[in-house]
């Protein structure tokens, strides 16, 4: 044992010097304190770097060939109603899809900021030949009660202008039906004979004291101001006024033949008001209007080919003509992204949809009505939100909040159930892509508004999409898409549109998550401690010998 201990003592690198053989100095003590402080600072800085995650970027040729790419969007048109909004897709390969409706949820945004559910009405036949054939059959039908007038139909219509429009609507004790049309619109010309026949029939039935029919030509200079004040961008449009020209109106969206117009006018005249106790058949032909501009909230996703293409928001509706001068395509983009979340995020998404649907069924059972489980949650009177789009719909409007029910015997239990629904809804709303800055960064479309007060202005967004793969330290990979966008306004002679032009890059960005190795961290710690100790030792030695030399010279000078 002694021999082994003696051998170990011989291998000792750091031999001990007795304390009484060493000497400390004030300068050396100050230098040691500074060395300890420097060591501590460098150690904690290196420890922070060890715990931090670093991302290393690489660029490679993209070898992943996806047949279809998902485009997710959530935007609000500021002055374009949902009935006129069409979502179109096209690409350079010649593929074109018009008026996409699958996977897109729409909500009406009224002038006061409230949201209302949008119901798609049955489209009218757009073929001129079909309309003419149907009108011919209607005229020849033996059960047709109203015959279309021969000759000039305008002779039997009440012609309105800006000068007499307000007086005409205000003087009617009951209600007023006004047809907004344009001389250049073929749909207006097709409807005018039926409107004239309906006007004459209403007079013959003695209903003109309770409901009157008038027509205004928006293409005339003496009527353009009234049409602009009532935001008439599509022709023909039929408005039903109850409380004068400044009151709330409703839009007639029923059939345009004379029989249907007379039947509708008769029902309007029979009811006291169309806002109280209105019959269901009358509701079917009306869509609520408002005194200001109406917008549309669009949220959903579409699949596009991986080639350059565009997604367009345009004004289009069957059986209607549009005046491009009065179409304003100002909009706000709340979110715009490409791709889908990874499988774990989709699984969480599906689980939360199931939980919210189950909570909805329980809520409906508590309220004593059946739930069809179609994934629609009522979030206020007249406001609805589809579950699959809750993650992308903006949450700042009043219509997106769950309101408390009126006091009742089951109020506490209902409020608890509503709080559960709200909690699940908010939890699902947080589901997004892993890197939110990709879609809400400084060079993205998220939370940006694009407004132009000039007519004929189309707003174009050119998007360069870069496939991106995130490789995490634990081996997981997530494929995503980042993009840069450039926006511009262009004045064109046709109907304005909103264009999202996209182009996919052939290169893929690989973002690798890197963490410092433990061996590297320990090596750096040793380098910090040893390096600072050595450097401070050299400084101490230099200072000690310098002060000692000065002291000896001073003593030698005194001696001489």
The three-state DSSP-derived secondary structure of 314-370 is EECCCCCEECHHHCCCCEEEEEEEECCCCHHHHHHHHHHHHHHHHHHHHHHHHHCCC
Q: How confident is the model at residue 403 (pLDDT cuts 50, 70, 90)?
A: very low
pLDDT tens by residue, 50-97: 888 888 889 988 887 777 889 999 999 988 888 889 999 999 988 889
Q: Would you place residue 373 in the very low, low, confident or very high pLDDT band (cuts 50, 70, 90)?
A: very low
| Non-local CB neighbours of 124 within 8 Å, separated by 6+ positions | 256, 318, 319
User: Is residue 231 over pLDDT 50?
Assistant: yes
In a domain, 146, yes or no: yes
Residue pair 296/76 in contact (Cβ under 8 Å)? The answer is yes
Residue at 8 is within a domain: no
Higher pLDDT, 271 or 520: 520
Is residue 60 domain-resident?
no
> Final residue of a domain: which of 408, 431, 454?
431
| Co-location of 472 and 541 in the same domain | no
Tokens 């770097």 belong to residue:
49
pLDDT higher than threshold 80 for residue 450: yes
Q: How far are the Cα atoms of 42, 44, 81, 530, 532 from residue 527, in angstroms, in the given order?
A: 10, 14, 69, 5, 8
- Tally the residues of the chain: 560
Q: Is the pLDDT confidence value at 385 over 50? A: no
Number of domains in the chain: 4
Structural contact between residues 408 and 347, judged by C-beta atoms closer than 8 angstroms? no
Q: Based on the fold, state whether residues 252 and 175 are members of the same structural domain.
A: yes
Residue 21: inside a domain: no
Residue 537 pLDDT grade (very low, low, confident, very high; cuts 50, 70, 90): confident
Please check whether residues 421 and 474 belong to one and the same domain.
no
Averaged pLDDT, 324-341: 84
Last residue of a domain, one of 372, 404, 431: 431
Q: Are residues 145 and 245 in the same domain?
A: yes
11 alpha carbon, distance to own chain's centre? 73
90 and 223: one domain? no
Distances (CA, A) of 282 to 271, 386, 423, 463, 511: 10, 27, 39, 46, 59
> Same domain, yes or no, for 253 and 330?
no
pLDDT of residue 448: 85
CATH number of the domain at 147, please: 3.40.30.10
Cβ pair 216, 165 in contact under 8 A:
yes
417 and 389 within one domain: yes
- Are 153 and 207 in a shared domain? yes
Q: What is the pLDDT of residues 476-535, one digit of tens each?
A: 788 888 899 999 988 877 788 999 999 999 999 998 888 888 888 899 899 988 898 888
Same domain for 482 and 385: no
Q: Are residues 33 and 77 in the same domain?
A: no
* 407 compared with 560, residue with greater pLDDT: 560
pLDDT over 70 percentage in the chain: 65
Question: Is residue 272 one of the residues assigned to a domain?
Answer: yes
Supply the pLDDT for residue 503. 94
Q: Range of 232's domain?
A: 133-288
The overall average pLDDT reported for the chain is 73
Strand stretches in 32-152, DSSP E:
54-61, 68-77, 85-91, 96-97, 104-109, 115-117
Tokens for 61, please give them.
Answer: 């040729």
Cα→Cα distances 90→218, 278, 493, Å: 33, 43, 21
Residue 264 and residue 138 share a domain: yes
Token representation of residue 371: 């739930």
**Does 463 reside within a domain?**
yes
- d(CA 506, CA 465) in angstroms, rounded, equals 10
Mark which of 389, 405, 431 sits at the end of a domain.
431
The pLDDT score that the predictor gives to residue 502 is 94
In a shared domain, residues 73 and 180: no
Task: Kindly state whether residue 57 falls inside one of the protein's structural domains.
Answer: no
Quick check: is 160 in a domain? yes
pLDDT tens for 453-464 read 777 889 999 999
CA geometry: angle at 86 spanning 81 and 92, to 5°? 150
The three-class DSSP label of residue 128 is helix
């Amino acid at each position: 044992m002694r021999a082994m201990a003696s051998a170990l003592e011989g291998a000792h690198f750091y031999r001990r010097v007795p304390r009484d053989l060493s000497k400390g100095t004030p300068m050396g003590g100050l230098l040691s304190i500074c060395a300890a402080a420097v060591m501590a600072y460098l150690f904690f800085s290196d420890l922070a770097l060890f715990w931090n995650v670093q991302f290393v970027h690489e660029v490679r040729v993209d070898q992943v060939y996806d047949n279809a790419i998902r485009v997710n969007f959530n935007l609000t048109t500021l002055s374009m109603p949902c009935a006129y909004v069409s979502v179109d897709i096209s690409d350079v390969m010649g593929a074109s899809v018009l008026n996409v409706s699958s996977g897109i949820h729409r909500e009406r945004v009224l002038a006061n900021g409230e949201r209302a559910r949008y119901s798609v009405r049955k489209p009218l036949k757009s073929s001129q030949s079909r309309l003419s054939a149907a009108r011919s059959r209607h005229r020849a039908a033996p059960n047709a009660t109203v015959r279309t007038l021969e000759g000039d139909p305008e002779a039997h219509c009440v012609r309105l202008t800006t000068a007499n429009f307000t007086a005409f609507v205000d003087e009617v004790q009951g209600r007023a039906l006004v047809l907004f049309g344009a001389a250049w619109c073929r749909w207006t010309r097709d409807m005018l004979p039926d409107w004239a026949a309906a006007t004459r029939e209403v007079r013959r039935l003695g209903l003109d004291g309770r409901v009157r029919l008038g027509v205004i030509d928006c293409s005339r200079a003496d009527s353009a101001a009234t049409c602009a004040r009532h935001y008439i961008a599509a022709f023909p449009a039929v408005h039903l006024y109850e409380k004068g020209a400044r009151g709330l109106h409703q839009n007639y969206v029923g059939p345009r033949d004379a029989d249907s117009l007379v039947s509708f006018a008769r029902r309007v005249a029979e009811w006291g008001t169309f806002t109280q106790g209105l019959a269901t058949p009358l509701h079917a032909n009306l869509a609520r209007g408002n005194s200001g501009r109406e917008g549309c909230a669009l949220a959903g996703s579409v699949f596009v080919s991986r080639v350059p293409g565009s997604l367009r928001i345009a004004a289009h509706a069957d059986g209607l003509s549009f005046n491009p001068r009065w179409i304003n395509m100002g909009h706000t983009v709340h979110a715009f992204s490409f791709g889908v979340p990874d499988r774990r995020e989709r699984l969480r998404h599906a689980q939360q949809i199931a939980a919210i649907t189950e909570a909805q069924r329980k809520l409906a059972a508590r309220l004593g009505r059946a739930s069809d489980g179609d994934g629609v949650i009522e979030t206020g009177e007249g406001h609805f939100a589809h579950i699959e789009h809750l993650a992308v719909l903006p949450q700042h409007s009043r219509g997106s909040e769950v309101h408390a029910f009126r006091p009742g015997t089951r109020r506490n239990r209902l409020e608890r159930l509503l709080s559960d629904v709200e909690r699940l809804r908010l939890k699902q709303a947080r589901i997004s892509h892993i890197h939110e800055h990709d879609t809400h960064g400084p060079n993205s479309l998220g939370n940006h508004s694009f407004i132009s007060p000039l007519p004929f202005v189309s707003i174009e967004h050119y998007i360069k999409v870069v496939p991106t793969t995130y490789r995490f330290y634990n081996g997981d990979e997530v494929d995503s898409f980042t993009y840069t966008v450039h926006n511009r306004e262009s004045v064109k002679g046709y109907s304005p549109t909103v264009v999202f032009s996209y182009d996919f890059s052939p290169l893929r960005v690989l973002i690798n998550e890197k963490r410092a190795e433990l061996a590297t961290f320990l090596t750096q710690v040793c380098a910090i401690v040893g390096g600072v100790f050595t450097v401070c030792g050299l400084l101490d030695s230099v200072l000690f010998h310098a002060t000692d030399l000065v002291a000896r010279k001073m003593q030698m000078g005194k001696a001489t």
